[in-house]
Amino acid sequence: MASVREVLHILLNFIQTVSIWDILDILIVAYLIYRIITVVRKTSSASVIKGIILLLAVMWLSSLLNLNVINYLLGQTMKLGVLVLIVLFQPELRRFLEQMGSSNFRMVFARKVKIGYMEACISNTVAACMEMSRKRMGALIVFEREIALVDHIKTGTKLDAILTAELLKSIFFPKAPLHDGAVIVRDGRISAAACMLPMSSNINISRDLGMRHRSGIGMSEVSDAVVVIVSEETGSISVAIDGMLKRHLAHETFEKLLRNELLAEESRPDTRTKLRNRFKVKK
């Protein structure tokens, strides 16, 4: 009983020493660790991280067992390794900083598009895609979300135009100068056209899918963008999110999916999660 009282006493003393700054400190570190884990999970860097953990474990064991030479060599390797890691993880680090920057920026300035404006953008996209699908016109449309797609926008021709069905159809008209590549939509406006997207390196993607679909999936793997793909060959409409492709979408499902993914998330979180779970990867 006395020991319980002692523990409680120590605990109470400890709590009294914790300031609001300590809590803030812990929260910031926890958030940073969370963001790092999310970036690592989305990339192939997970195996490298496992390797580093193994190396650290061997180092710890070697110091425990007094294996001085191994410990010294591993210590030196680790020092050099920091530089190697920065070079190796340059894209991941960059994406991480980009994610931090873009989401914080948006949080601070509350860059939320008016729902009505976004609804018009979705209706116009659906109308254009349905017609392009009927006419077998290929299209690739990327909707930027939290992660800024600055580098991808730079690869294309800047437009910054209101998204209308007519504009989308004229961009993707086969003989139009900007039909090759992707349109990137930011906050309901066409930011750029003829943009180059990164190819997916997923070897499990169905062989009947060509470059348009692979680059659409690739874009959704490296960002949180919603990518709409209209096949030139079959006219089928697909949507790529988080590296997963939902294929052969009918009018209603397509519109519902876009609305759930692109309209203010806080207004319909449950529906969005439900929809994500309902769709299976069809590759």
Q: Which residues are at the interface with ligand ATP (CB under 6 A)?
A: 138, 140, 180-182, 196-197, 199, 209-213, 215, 231-233
Cβ proximity to ligand ATP, 59 vs 182, nearer residue: 182
Cβ proximity to ligand ATP, 81 vs 198, nearer residue: 198
Q: Which residue is at the shortest CB distance from ligand ATP? A: 210
Cβ proximity to ligand ATP, 119 vs 131, nearer residue: 131
Least separation in angstroms between residue 232's CB and ligand ATP is 3
Cβ proximity to ligand ATP, 122 vs 229, nearer residue: 229
Least separation in angstroms between residue 68's CB and ligand ATP is 52
Cβ proximity to ligand ATP, 59 vs 197, nearer residue: 197
Least separation in angstroms between residue 144's CB and ligand ATP is 15
Round to whole Å and give the CA distance between 183 and 115: 21
Cβ proximity to ligand ATP, 74 vs 190, nearer residue: 190
Cβ proximity to ligand ATP, 138 vs 188, nearer residue: 138
Q: For residue 192, give the nearest of 207, 208, 180, 203 by alpha carbon.
A: 180
| Radius of gyration in angstroms for the set of CA atoms belonging to the chain, rounded to a whole number | 24
Least separation in angstroms between residue 228's CB and ligand ATP is 12
Round to whole Å and give the CA distance between 134 and 68: 72
Q: What are the residues facing 156 on neighbouring strands?
A: none
- Token duo for residue 90: 């340059």
Least separation in angstroms between residue 255's CB and ligand ATP is 21
Least separation in angstroms between residue 180's CB and ligand ATP is 4
Q: What are the residues facing 225 on neighbouring strands?
A: none
Least separation in angstroms between residue 235's CB and ligand ATP is 9
Q: For residue 153, give the nearest of 192, 185, 181 by alpha carbon.
A: 192
